[in-house]
Amino acid sequence: MRTRAAVAVAAGKPLEIMEVNLEGPKFGEVLVEIKATGICHTDEFTLSGADPEGLFPAILGHEGAGVVVECGPGVTTLKPGDHVIPLYTPECRECPSCLSQKTNLCTSIRATQGQGMMPDGTSRFSMLDGTPIHHYMGCSTFAQHTVVPEIALAKIRDDAPFDKVCYIGCGVTTGIGAVINTAKVEIGAKAVVFGLGGIGLNVIQGLKLAGADMIIGVDLNNDKKEWGERFGMTHFVNPKEIEGSVVQHIVNMTKTPADQIGGADYSFDCTGNVKVMRDALECTHRGWGVSVVIGVAPAGAEISTRPFQLVTGRQWKGTAFGGARGRTDVPKIVDWYMDGKIQIDPMITHTLSLEDINKGFDLMHEGKSIRAVVVY
């Protein structure tokens, strides 16, 4: 069949909207009509050329929601008409990682996914002249139709709006999951969130749900103060507007008469900047501070700190997709949204057509959007 897609033809170039060929689903695969997709900073990271796994041409997009059109042979858990969210972290429930119950990082198809291919090592997408186009993160939601392995689809309820719950395909789950699954934040905690974008605001929302007392947001953009406050941020810091280091500033803010050491119980990097990651670790409390890396950093970037920071009890952790097991957890998060337990609508600041998808990237660069969503 043919479908419309925004194709990343080369690093650093705008996406090109075109008709592409899409082969039907093979064994264990499912053809999905994408109804809506968010634009995440990770799409921009790969499009920019900073992603060591970036491949071109490719159909990017990994934050979608849609409807099953056709199931390939061997598919048993989905049928045409089911509403689904594609998962860049699949859940096969059979690989050593899934069976370990220690991680959400299913390894069953990670190698071919990283090569921009379906599990059999081939692509379903091609240009009209026959040139193969890579899949992206196993999802390729910047196409009106896509093929996704069955194990990488979460079946969701039929009454959830696609243009909102698509955000659960990455940003919402990553932010809230980082708090609940990875950091396991407890009631009364003091936490710091670096970067108040589409992920950071969901970390704030998660911290509020978890019952944190002090939620400090850090961003270079003062417009983000009001955004953070809408979701539960109690204090805002713009590192450009303080005296001295952001680490010392946060340590001072978290001191109490009874605790003159100071430091946050938890911190979260939602910027992808390795200097920020260091600050995020070093502003946590001696003895027990936990810092969670969420941001993804360019090829060649490395994090550093004095080992003393770890010797004295701080822990560095990382999280992908908020530690969520997609097929199990995503339908529950959709229920939380439908039951009013979490907010999504206010964070979707812009709705665009596929033709205008490059405007979504412009809005992100200008710091004007939280999430831009393409509706097909």
Q: What are phi and psi of 310, to 5 degrees?
A: -85, -35
Alpha helices in 168-272 (DSSP H): 171-177, 200-210, 224-231, 246-254
CA distance 211 to 206: 9
* 278 labelled catalytic: no
* 170 labelled catalytic: yes
CA distance 55 to 132: 12
* 92 labelled catalytic: yes
CA distance 163 to 352: 10
**Could you tell me if 197 and 272 are in contact, meaning their C-beta atoms sit under 8 angstroms apart?**
no
* 2 labelled catalytic: no
**Could you tell me if 93 and 109 are in contact, meaning their C-beta atoms sit under 8 angstroms apart?**
no
Chain center to CA of 32: 20
Which letter does DSSP use for residue 58 in this model?
B
Task: Single out the segment in contact with ligand NAD by CB under 6 A; choices: 139-147, 184-192, 318-326, 344-352.
Answer: 318-326
CB neighbourhood size of 229 (10 A): 15
User: In a 3-state reduction of DSSP, which class is residue 145?
Assistant: strand
The distance of closest approach from Cβ of residue 62 to ligand NAD in the complex, given in angstroms and rounded to an integer, is 9
Q: Which of 42, 46, 141, 284 is catalytic?
A: 42
Q: Which of 83, 89, 106, 254 is catalytic?
A: 106
Q: Which of residues 300-359 bind ligand AHE (CB under 6 A)?
A: 320-321
Q: Which of 170, 254, 325, 327 is catalytic?
A: 170
By CB under 6 A, residue 169 contacts ligand NAD: no
Of 24, 52, 211, 287, the residue at the interface with ligand AHE (CB under 6 A) is 52
Q: Which residue is nearest to ligand AHE (CB)?
A: 42
CB neighbourhood size of 261 (10 A): 11
The distance of closest approach from Cβ of residue 170 to ligand AHE in the complex, given in angstroms and rounded to an integer, is 5
User: In a 3-state reduction of DSSP, which class is residue 23?
Assistant: coil
Of 40, 58, 165, 216, the residue at the interface with ligand AHE (CB under 6 A) is 40
By CB under 6 A, residue 206 contacts ligand NAD: no
- Two structure tokens written together for 333: 């998060």
* 166 labelled catalytic: no
By CB under 6 A, residue 181 contacts ligand AHE: no
* 106 labelled catalytic: yes
Could you list the residues that contact ligand AHE (CB under 6 A)? 40, 42, 51-53, 88-89, 105, 110, 170, 296, 320-321
The site for ligand NAD (CB under 6 A) is made up of 40-42, 45, 170, 174, 194-200, 218-221, 224, 239, 270-273, 276, 294-296, 319-321, 364, 367
Which positions are catalytic? 40-42, 62-63, 92, 95, 98, 106, 110, 170, 371
